[in-house]
Structure 1
Amino acid sequence: MNVVASSPITGGYVLVRAAAPPPGNRSVPAEIITISDCIQDKLPRPDHWDWFQDLAEAHHAQSMCADAQLVAVGLKPDEASRLIENMGGPEQPWFALLGRKEPAAGTLLGYELLGAEDSLDFHSWHCHSYADDLASATGISLNGFGLFSNMADARAALEWMTSLPSEEAPAPVPWCVAALTAAPSAWDQRDARPSG
């Protein structure tokens, strides 16, 4: 399958529920969407890493949490390659879906800055409460989900954040920009299967 180099590819699926952000930022909505389980409720995830690699498994987990939304996490191919290189290589089971290079599908919610720790444990830039400082320094604002509306703003925010002095900088883990989209529903998947 040909993927346009700038188009995000699907890395995995995560259950989310609107959550209150960490305190201290006036420029962040009262509820945000994030895949970081430091901020949101503990929702079902795979046993050893933070995103589902199989959409059917993700839908099964969602069926146990009717009020949770399933989001697809997409990365641009260059960022996917850096994350894979920094997190154990392509043989890691949590990168099976990225290896297929399937275009991210669904309704775009926005872009989140994510840092990945061992065994692909994701943290949001919101864990560091940078939004007000970012807005003051760059004028970049967030959408109603607490996400960046476009990739350019998200990448500029990532560059700003990772350029902070060491005493203010985020945890020294691989950081990336992730596109969060409302994942295809189980019905969409059923309808897409070949008949007969």
Structure 2
Amino acid sequence: MDQDLKGLFGRAVADEPVPLGDIAADAITGGTRIRRRRRVLTGSAAAVALVAVLGAVNLVPRPAPAPEVVQFGLASWSECDVTDQFADEAAIFLEHDATAEQRAALDRSLAADRALRGYFFEDRQAAYQKFVTLWADSPDLVNSVTAEQLPEAFRARLTDRSEWAGFRARYENAPGVDEIIGAVCPEGD
């Protein structure tokens, strides 16, 4: 098989009327062009598909991170200005007879609320501990109040003061909500 293929091909087609050497060369050149074009098209199609997939992945909306359920500077609001116009922080006081289902629904809503940087639930006992600390200088007042008399609340920190009106509107008529109070607090609380 070490024979010269070009020579064998030339002898096989020697009695043809058209010189096939030129046709064979043209076919080889054309085949090379077709293969080259096919590789370019295949590579281009793969690149376009990759770009489309990456674009689709980046276009899928990602859910905003849920607000953290952590405690923050709402210990007494003694240094905060209670306001009705703009607020950094909010206290959502629950009705005394709010049900566990109402608390859970409100908790789910707050967890999904993009206007919040963080929030936490404050039960009656935690509210009473804050009350005792805040009014430590007035033992008669402290002795006249029990934990059962204080409301449960969700305490929330907003991402931006401009979110206050919308935040309040979303929750003020929610089942189990008694009152919402906003406060503007000094930075760092």
* Bucket of the pairwise TM-score, normalised by the shorter protein: under 0.3
Rg comparison, structure with higher value: 2
TM-score calculated relative to the size of structure 1? 0.24
TM-score calculated relative to the size of structure 2? 0.24
Q: Give the number of the structure whose residues are more often helix, by fraction.
A: 2
